[in-house]
Every structure is written in structure tokens, then in C-alpha cells.
């Protein structure tokens, strides 16, 4: 069954998750087909008045970098103060080319670029809360003060930052919609299927562009 087409309301916000060079082919944490979704994201964004972009923005000392855990391999999991944390290749390092928004992204009317993952000791997949689940980014307040009620998510990666952001949106009292066509997954240990099952269980709605 294909999802119903997205019908945009005035109190919707499009949240474009981490459309960055390092998450596209050739980048440090490349997601297969990551670059392919940029034209569709541009097209979808053109239909929204309210657009937020998130930007993964790590210091070199980030706790989620395998390089900061001697002997550990990327894509393994370690226990940190807030629980299990997957280790990644160094990516989206502050100020580097890989951290830049993808050159094919053309969303000039976006009013907020929200950086996340800038603390050394806590990673941040979600646009709302860091991975400790308590440190807020401030996005809920921003959206509430603007009267926005439904968050529509596209971007990278479907099974990590898009998933956590959509689920936290629900926790924060927003409606949450994901457009899978305009997202791509890393798919580590069946994490794409797990994300889709979790969306269905929690009430994250899927929509077609
Ligand atoms: C992401 C892993 C590490 C994402 C960011 O954008 O999904 N995944 N950092
Ligand atoms: Zn990251």
C-alpha cells in the first residue's frame, strides 16, 4: 500500500534532516542514494512556507566517533554515560567541507538552520533532544512560538536522525509525518525495517510527495 499524498496545511513545518555532503556518496558516512533525494527535497520545500534544516555539526572529540575510542571499529556499539551509542566514522566535523549542506540543496527560504551534535560528550540524532534524551535543542519552543503543529520530515538518514526526530516530535506534542521517497536509510542491522515498524507502532504517518 503506498502512502497517501501529502496535503500541506498552514501550520505545517518541513524539517529537512542533515542534507549534508558527508551523508552523500563520496562523503565520510555516505548513505546510498543520499544525493538523489536533493531535487525532490527542493520541490517539496517549495510548497512549504515554513522550513527548518538541521545540520550535524560535530567537534573532532565527539563521543560518537570510533576514532575517539582506541581499538573500537566504526559501526560497533559502546556503552556511554547515557546508554548505548553506535560509533561512526568521523563525519560532519565543524567547519569542514563534509559538514556543508549539499550543493544541490536549494532551499533558500528556510528560516532556521539548526545545528546539533556540537557537544563532545553527547551525540544528537534528533532535532529535538540530544541522545541523552534530556538535553533540549530548543526546537520545540521555536515551533510552538510560531504556532506550528505538524512536522513533516525528509532527509538523512531515515533510520537514525529522521527516525529520532519524528518520534521526538510526537513526544513533544506535534504530529509527525515522514516522506520516505525523500529520505534514505543507512540500514545497519535491519535498522530501516525497525524504523518503519516503530513509525507504525507509534503513529508517525507516512506520506508520498
Ligand atoms: C546521522 C549517524 C550519525 C544521521 C548523523 O543524520 O542520521 N547518523 N550522525
Ligand atoms: Zn553525526
| 177-198 pLDDT, tens digit each | 999 999 999 999 999 999 999 9
* Ligand located closest to 86 CA: 1
| Interatomic CA distance for residues 1 and 199, integer angstroms | 15
Number of Cβ within a 10 Å radius of residue 147: 9
Q: Is the pLDDT of residue 40 over 70?
A: yes
The correct CATH number of 9-58+94-208 out of 3.40.50.850, 3.40.190.10, 3.40.47.10, 3.30.420.40 is: 3.40.50.850
pLDDT score for 121: 98
Give the closest residue (by CA) to ligand 1 atom 2: 160
With b for 16 or more beta-carbon neighbours within 10 A and e for fewer, the 66-101 pattern comes to beebeeeebeeeeebebeebbbbebbbbeeeebbeb
Cell of 66: 570510533
pLDDT score for 18: 99
Strand partners, 38: none
Render pLDDT for 87-132 as a digit per residue (tens, 0 to 9): 999 999 999 999 999 999 999 999 999 999 999 999 999 999 999 9
Pocket test for ligand 1, best of 15, 17, 29 (most atoms within 8 A of CB): 29
Render pLDDT for 52-67 as a digit per residue (tens, 0 to 9): 999 999 999 999 999 9
Query: Which atom of ligand 1 has the smallest separation from the CA of 58?
Result: 9
Does the pTM exceed 0.85? yes
Query: Which atom of ligand 1 has the smallest separation from the CA of 160?
Result: 7
* CA 6 from centroid of its chain's CA atoms: 19
Q: What pLDDT band is residue 2 in, cutting at 50, 70 and 90?
A: confident
Q: What pLDDT band is residue 80 in, cutting at 50, 70 and 90?
A: very high
**Centroid of ligand 2 to alpha carbon of 95 (angstroms):** 14
Ligand 1 neighbours by CB, cut-off 6 Å = 18, 23, 56, 88, 125, 156-157, 160-161
**Residue 64 main-chain phi, psi, to 5 deg:** -85, 0
**Centroid of ligand 2 to alpha carbon of 58 (angstroms):** 7
Cell of 73: 571499529
Domain residue ranges of the chain, discontinuous segments joined by +: 9-58+94-208
How much of the chain exceeds pLDDT 90, in percent?
A: 99
| Interatomic CA distance for residues 61 and 67, integer angstroms | 9
CA distance to 63, 76, 85, 132, 160, per residue, from 15 (Å) = 25, 29, 24, 21, 15
Q: Is the pLDDT of residue 1 over 80?
A: no
Which of the residues are catalytic?
Answer: 18, 116, 161
Pocket test for ligand 1, best of 15, 18, 102 (most atoms within 8 A of CB): 18
pLDDT score for 171: 98
What does the mean pLDDT of the chain come to? 98
pLDDT score for 48: 98
**Centroid of ligand 1 to alpha carbon of 35 (angstroms):** 15
**Centroid of ligand 2 to alpha carbon of 147 (angstroms):** 29
* Ligand located closest to 99 CA: 2
Amino acid at each position: 500500500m503506498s502512502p497517501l499524498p501529502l496535503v500541506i496545511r498552514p501550520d505545517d513545518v518541513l524539517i529537512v534532516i542533515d542534507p549534508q555532503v558527508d551523508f552523500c556518496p563520496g562523503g565520510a558516512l555516505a548513505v546510498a542514494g543520499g544525493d538523489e533525494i536533493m531535487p525532490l527535497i527542493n520541490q517539496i520545500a517549495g510548497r512549504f512556507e515554513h522550513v527548518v534544516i538541521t545540520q550535524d555539526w560535530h567537534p573532532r572529540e565527539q563521543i560518537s566517533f570510533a576514532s575517539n575510542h582506541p581499538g573500537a571499529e566504526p559501526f560497533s556499539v559502546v556503552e556511554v554515560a547515557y546508554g548505548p551509542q553506535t560509533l561512526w566514522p568521523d563525519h560532519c566535523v565543524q567547519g569542514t567541507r563534509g559538514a556543508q549542506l549539499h550543493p544541490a540543496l536549494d532551499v533558500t527560504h528556510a528560516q532556521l538552520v539548526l545545528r546539533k551534535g556540537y557537544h563532545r560528550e553527547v551525540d544528537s540524532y534528533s532535532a529535538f533532544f540530544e541522545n541523552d534524551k534530556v538535553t533540549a535543542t530548543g526546537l520545540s519552543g521555536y515551533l510552538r512560538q510560531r504556532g506550528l503543529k505538524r512536522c513533516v520530515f525528509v532527509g538523512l538518514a531515515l533510520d537514525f536522525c529522521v527516525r529520532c526526530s519524528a518520534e521526538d516530535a510526537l513526544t513533544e506534542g506535534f504530529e509527525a509525518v515522514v516522506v520516505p521517497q525523500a529520505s534514505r536509510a543507512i540500514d545497519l542491522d535491519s535498522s530501516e525495517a525497525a524504523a518503519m515498524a516503530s513509525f507504525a507502532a507509534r503513529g508517525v504517518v507516512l506520506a508520498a510527495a
